[in-house]
Structures are given as C-alpha cells and as structure tokens.
Amino acid sequence: MVGRLADLAVLSRDVFGPISPEELVGTTSELTRVGGEIVWESGALALDREAR
C-alpha cells in the first residue's frame, strides 16, 4: 500500500519548542507505529481498540 502507511511516534512532550536538556532526556515514547501497526504503547493514551 504505497502512500497509506506511516511511521509515527507520539512523545510525552513537545520537543520542538523551548526545552531544557534535562527535560529532553526525560522524554518518552507514548506510542510508536511502524508500517501502520502499533509496535509500542505505554498505556498512557486512551486508544480506541476497535479502530485498530
């Protein structure tokens, strides 16, 4: 499926705004998607399990 699957990481904070090195080190992944499939989720996000 060319053009339909995306890799995506949802981080615990905005890393593109002003952020200190200490805050950056403490940033974690809340969800990672590769090839359209969820490969990691921390459980911190309310996901619609039916939509997968």
Q: Where are the domains of the chain?
A: 8-51
* Alpha-carbon span 30 to 24, nearest angstrom: 14
Interval 1-52: pLDDT, tens:
566 777 999 999 999 999 999 889 999 999 999 988 889 999 888 766 655 5
Predicted pLDDT at 20: 92
Predicted pLDDT at 52: 52
Tokens of 9: 């990481």
Q: Establish how many alpha carbons lie within 13 A of residue 37's alpha carbon, considering only the half-sphere containing its beta carbon.
A: 2
